[in-house]
Structure 1
Amino acid sequence: MYRPPKYRKDDKEFIFSFIEENPFASFILKGERLLATHIPVLVEGNSENFRLYSHIANHNEQKTFLKDGAEALIIFHGPHAYVSSSWYKEKDISTWDYTAVHVNARIRLQTAEELETSLETMVERFERKQESPLYYKDIPELMLKEHLPLITGFWLEPFKIEGIAKLHQAYPKYDIEAVTKKLDDSGSYRDRELGAAIRKENNTD
């Protein structure tokens, strides 16, 4: 990943929290060509030592290349938005602010038991905020028996991790305030998230 020094984010707490907060990722494998799938990828462990896990459908083209020891690239995306130079006090060049984490990892296929445990954890993670959650244990047994053979679960053991946060570092305070106000007023939840990240990065909260 191209990372100018001022945008690099290698702090372990930043990386771990970012993955937890932005689990919907691009999962990339090299087959006969580069292949990508967009899936939730969850993290297990802590900021000092963690692994990732997910699953894909067996009819996915990536399944052929999903093998123990194969390398995968997982890209976690944070808030991002176009920033118009018309928002600045002086004439400048427009840009795009964003945050992301790239993880290069080795694949290890899950056992049937590991797959069920990880699915249970994943369902609980996303259902617990629902008004009437439907947990894994609530899914009819016959339905599970029919669907489990159709997917393959896997662990991802990271060996290279890179974070980036391009958030208007080194810009004048008045430009940062103008940019974040425009983002806040856009009506987009993701724009507001980015505005909050810019303020936090530049200590203008």
Structure 2
Amino acid sequence: MHNPSVFKEECLDVLYQLITEHPLATLVTSGAQGLMANLVPFTLHADKENGVLRAHLARGNKQLDELRAGGEALVVFQGPQFYVTPSWYPSKAEHGKVVPTWNYTMVQVRGTPRVIDDPDWLLAQAGHLTQLNEAERTQPWHVADAPEDFIASQLKAIVGVEIPIQSIAGKFKLSQNRQQQDKQGVMQGFEAERGCPVTGYFAEE
């Protein structure tokens, strides 16, 4: 991706946090069937060197053929994003040399996938994914809440995917290239328009 140094984020903790908070990612592969992309929720396992992404796909998903072929896969996680109008820049009144832009955060992960067809692995992965997303509910749902034979049949319909993180890159385009007065204008404009604070949407000073 195009990633000027001013927007480049290299802190693993920050990159892992975005992945954890925005787990639904675009899984991209290229092979005999051409380019393929699917939205897939991933779990991050950072206890191993460089980390590992895990997920599952429907058994009928044609992208599994490309994943089994062993070519490199690209996983794109997108975090907060919003349009920036030039009207938010105080510098607009000074010289008018401003244009619209878009602020956003994203992490790209590359690795060689491994397809897994093991019921125990799939049960653990599905359980972990569910636990992460149900954790804040007052009455969280657990995989064990469903009948055992039903879960067994559901597991037969999915296939696991594990992608060791071979490279990871982050781009946090959050007005770092603007003057301080324009940064402040973006923060104020965002808060006024969306009615919420800019925490997580703007580069910290």
Q: TM-score, normalised by structure 2?
A: 0.89
Residue equivalent to 1:84? 85
Taking the aligned partners of 1:95 and 1:48, their CA distance within structure 2 comes to 37
Q: Which residue of 2 aligns with 1:184?
A: 191
Q: Give yes or no for contact 2:26–2:76 (8 Å, CA) kept in 1.
A: yes
Is contact 1:104–1:161 with CA below 8 Å preserved after alignment?
A: yes
Q: Of the candidates 115, 122, 131, which is equivalent to residue 122 of structure 2?
A: 115
Deviations for 1:51-94, whole angstroms, at most 9, x for unmatched residues? Answer: 01001101222122221633210000011111011111122111
Q: C-alpha deviations, 1:111-143, integer Å up to 9, x for none?
A: 222111111111111112122211011121121
Match of 1:197 in 2: 200
Q: Give matches, 1:166-177, under 5 Å.
A: 166-177=173-184
- In structure 1, the residue matched to 2:136 is 129
- Is residue 30–residue 36 contact of structure 2 (8 Å, CA) maintained in 1? yes
Q: Does 1:102 align with 2:108?
A: yes
Secondary structure at the aligned position of 2:25 is classed as strand
Aligned-partner Cα distance in 2 for 1:48–1:108: 17
Question: For the structure 1 residues 47 and 11, does the alpha-carbon distance in structure 2 shift closer, same or farther, using more than 3 Å as the test?
Answer: farther
Per-residue Cα deviation, 1:120-174 (whole angstroms, up to 9, x for no partner) = 1111111121222110111211211221111101111111111111111132222
Letter in 2 for 1:30: S
Aligned length: 198
Query: Is 1:156 equivalent to 2:163 in the alignment?
Result: yes
d(CA) in 1 for partners of 2:16 and 2:80? 16
Q: Structure 1 pair 59/83, CA: closer, same or farther in 2 (3 Å)?
A: same
Partners of 2:204 and 2:124 lie apart in 1 by: 41
CA contact (8 A) 2:50 2:164 kept: no
Percent of residue pairs bearing the same amino acid type: 27
Q: Distance in 1 between matches of 2:45 and 2:10?
A: 19
The runs of at least 4 aligned residues of structure 1 exceeding 6 Å deviation read: none
Query: Given that residues 59 and 159 in structure 2 are in contact (C-alpha distance below 8 angstroms), is that contact kept between their aligned partners in structure 1?
Result: yes
Q: Give me the TM-score of the superposition, normalised by structure 1.
A: 0.89
Aligned: 1:93 with 2:99 = yes
Pairwise CA RMSD of aligned residues? 1.8
Taking a change above 3 Å as real, the CA distance of residues 47 and 124 of structure 1, as seen in their structure-2 partners, is same
Q: Which amino acid aligns with 2:56?
A: H
Change in CA separation of 1:15 and 1:47 when aligned onto 2, cut-off 3 Å: farther
Does structure 2 retain, via aligned residues, the 8 Å contact 1:13–1:47?
Answer: no
Q: Distance in 1 between matches of 2:155 and 2:106?
A: 32
Unaligned 5+ segments in structure 1 are none
Q: Within 1, Cα distance between the matches of 2:142 and 2:62?
A: 29
